[in-house]
Amino acid sequence: LRRMRRFGDADSFLDLIGRIRDVRPDAGIRSNVIAGFPGESEADVEVLAGFLAAARLDAVGVFGYSDEEGTEGASLDGKVDRSAIDERVDRLGTLVDEVSADRASERVGERTQVLVEAIAPDGTRSGRSVHQGPETDGGTTLGPADNDLVTGALAWGTVTATDGVDLIVELEG
């Protein structure tokens, strides 16, 4: 983290996440990580994997490092081999898929507000819950309700099931 000019450590971030969830258990917490930054060791990857497992984030983007012209990282020594970067991205990606799906499962039974974003010809509505960012953090399928919700409407419902990171919500009313 220091070489990337990022400060903090796993314990301080885990403490912060814990304090947030103490106040708002339904808070959506996401992050992005870069695998293969110059100088990264296998031990660093294991520390990151341990953090991601412990943090139970709702969504995580995992990206492989690549040199960008004009950045400080491009001039650093200790470049990680591209095949090692790809392997780390795959390994971390698999981990975060599992952890984020588990976190979504923890939401079953939770009451949530959902933005209706689309209505299929068969009437199935989809959208996103308050903790889901657009296009990146999974989505929400809305179950039947006796109402005339339109695209752009906000509706309340209860999470009844999940499909990976996606929520299935039964609407109220």
Q: Do domains 10-105 and 111-171 have the same CATH topology?
A: no
The burial of 161, by beta-carbon neighbours within 10 Å (0-12 exposed, 13-18 middle, 19 or more buried), is given as: middle
What is the distance between the alpha carbons of residues 110 and 62, in angstroms, rounded to a whole number?
Answer: 27
Second CATH level (architecture) for the domain 111-171: Beta Barrel (2.40)
Domain 10-105's class? alpha beta
Name the residue ranges covered by the structural domains of the chain: 10-105, 111-171
From first to last of the 173 residues of the chain, give the pLDDT tens digit: 555 555 678 999 999 999 999 999 999 999 999 999 999 999 999 999 999 999 999 999 999 999 988 888 788 889 999 999 999 999 999 999 999 999 999 999 999 999 999 988 888 889 999 999 887 788 999 987 656 788 999 999 999 999 999 999 998 87
pLDDT tens-digit map of 48-77: 999 999 999 999 999 999 998 888 878 888
